[in-house]
Each structure stands twice: as structure tokens, then as C-alpha cells.
Amino acid sequence: MSIDETIRARIPAELSGMVRSATLRGNVATLVVDAGGLGRSAAAQLQRELEEAVGALDHVSEVRVALMADRKERQIIAVGSGKGGVGKSTLTANLAVALAGMGHKVGVVDADIYGPSQATLLADTPSKLRAEGEKLIPHDSDFGVKFVSMGQLVEAGKAIAWRGPMVGQALSQLMDADWGDTDVLLVDLPPGTGDVQLTMLQKFKPSAAVVVSTPQDLALIDAKRALDLFRQAQVPIAGIVENMAGYMCPSCGDISDPFGKGGAEAAAKELGLPFLGRVPLAMEIRQKSDAGTPPAAAADSDMGKPFIGIAAQLHRALEQVG
């Protein structure tokens, strides 16, 4: 084994991807580690683990760990749901736009590999991803939000028939894109609790999670499964959002509740979790989303205000978990 390989053999597998170089001069081992995006406590824990692992080598008397943290700490926020069709992607896009309007440098990862939609929600014209070296370069939207999506890599309408390992690799490439000084990264997860969710939780360790549900009982049952997965992974729950909460007839203005009313808020109270707010079922939201012009971009519009309010709640939650 070379010296570099000898040192690397002592590094736990889950940490090896962060080590950029490992050298030995005399009895001193020096490791250069990418700690970008890690919080202070996580970076300190990473340093301790590497020092203990490499320091166990007989011929190493001192371990020096250089943490590369020259970029601003990045918070990863997972946006999930227990089932599809609850408006999770639309919420993610609008939260991103609203947070950008509050001064955050925001990125969106479309982790719904089989059903990507952020390339439509955040752009009124098709966009393609480019790469520099091994890094994807996120697309800059017109709303101050960067994003990456399989929808920018695969021909429109073409099925993505991949097994779990390939999906995990795709997620890693999207997450490891060149995000620059992005400080909040929203991850639009696919529905359910499958491979993508597990890869995200184990490899990228989100700072917090937002769970989206409609008010109806069936959606809430599935939302609770998503909440349980985040809890098992010790990811703080920033809160629950109730989507499609009330429909306003565009002709007469009457309000009806086709999916029920208040179910997500009641569930949040029952579970002792924050309720971030509700978004109505509205034609305008659907039309603007299909056109790639998120309602949150117009902060003073009736359909933009619910997203702005939820983003403000999320902003406060991020300050607490950060």
C-alpha cells in the first residue's frame, strides 16, 4: 500500500468521500477534508472521528485535519410527503422563491428522479444542465433560485427506468452540484419512504424537514409515515403544511372543502409539531405553476401571500435549528 492508501484504509467508509487528500510526513498525518455545508458541531465531530481513526496507526504520532469550510454553512431542508399528488413540488418551488425574496441564497434539488417537475415550475422556458469537470452547474432561474433536476437531463416524456443504485447515484450528482454560496438548499423528495429518502437521510443529513399533506384522512395517514421516517433519522421537523385547503369558485367566490378542512393542523397539534400554514386549492396557483411563474414571485398577490407566510415560519425554524 502507498502511504495515502494506508491512511485511507483507517478512515470510516462513510467519511472517506469527504477526504480530499491524505499525506504522511515523518510521523505526522495531514488530512484535507471538505466540511462545506456542515454545522459547527458536525464539523467538530468529523474532525474528532478522523483524528481517532488515523491516530490509531502505529507509525502516526500526530494527526492534523484541515477542514475546508470556506463557504457559508448550508442548511439542507427536505420537503417530503407520504403520498403523491399533494402539491409538494409546487410548495417547494414557491418556498424557494419566497426565501430568496427574504435575502437567502436558495437552491432547489429536484430529487423526484422518476417524476421531476422543478424544471417546469421554476422556468418558463426549457433549460439544460451543463457540467464543469465532474460538477453539474445549477441553472439560475429568473426568481433568484438555482435548481437542478433530472428534467433538465432527460428528454421530455421519456421514462426513467432505473433501479435503486442508479437513482442513488443520480441524487448524489444533483446534491453535489456546484452550489457556490447557496445557504439554503431545498430538496424536493419523491413521495413515500423509499431509496431516495434513505440515501438523502444517510448521506446528506438534512438540517430539517417540512412535510406536506392535504387535509383528508388518507393523506394524513401517509404523511405520518414520512414524519416517522424523519424522526427515526433524527432530522428535526420544521413543521407541517396543509395544501389544497379550501377551494374558491372563480365564478361565484364560494369556498368549498373537497379534501376536508383543518386535518393537517389538527395532526400537527396532536403530534406536538409546528403548523406552518395552509395553501388553498386555486386555479391561479395551478396556472402560474404550469407556466413556470411561481405565485410567490408576486409577494403582494393573494395566491403569493400563503407561501410568503409559510416561508417566514420556515425562516424562523431554520434560525432555531441552525
241 is annotated as contributing to ligand binding = no
Quote the pLDDT of residue 118.
Answer: 94
Q: DSSP for 111-139? A: --SSS--HHHHT-SS----EEETTEEE-E
Asked whether the beta carbons of 241 and 211 are under 8 A apart, the reply is yes
277 is annotated as contributing to ligand binding = no
Quote the pLDDT of residue 83.
Answer: 81
Domain limits of the chain? 3-68, 75-321
17 is annotated as contributing to ligand binding = no
Phi and psi at 265, nearest 5°, equal: -65, -40
84 is annotated as contributing to ligand binding = yes
pTM, two decimal places: 0.74
Asked whether the beta carbons of 31 and 54 are under 8 A apart, the reply is yes
39 is annotated as contributing to ligand binding = no
Q: What does the alpha-carbon distance between residue 179 and residue 129 come to, in Å, rounded to a whole number? A: 13
For the 3-68 domain, the top CATH level (class) is: alpha beta
Ranges of the chain with pLDDT below 70: 1-4, 37, 69-73, 155-162, 164, 321-322
87 is annotated as contributing to ligand binding = yes
89 is annotated as contributing to ligand binding = yes
Cell of 196: 431516495
* SS3 at position 90: helix
Residue 265 carries which side chain, given as an amino acid letter? E
Q: What does the alpha-carbon distance between residue 233 and residue 108 come to, in Å, rounded to a whole number? A: 22
Quote the pLDDT of residue 222.
Answer: 86
What is 75-321's CATH topology?
Rossmann fold (3.40.50)
CA gyration radius, the chain:
21
pLDDT tens by residue, 195-241? 889 989 989 999 999 999 988 877 788 888 899 999 999 999 999 99
Quote the pLDDT of residue 168.
Answer: 83
pLDDT tens by residue, 102-136? 889 999 999 998 888 999 999 878 778 888 888 99
Asked whether the beta carbons of 225 and 198 are under 8 A apart, the reply is no
164 is annotated as contributing to ligand binding = no
Asked whether the beta carbons of 274 and 240 are under 8 A apart, the reply is yes
- 201 CB-contact burial (10 Å; exposed 0-12 / middle 13-18 / buried 19+): buried
Q: Which of 29, 90, 116 is nearest to 287 (CA)?
A: 90
Asked whether the beta carbons of 191 and 115 are under 8 A apart, the reply is no
Asked whether the beta carbons of 89 and 188 are under 8 A apart, the reply is yes
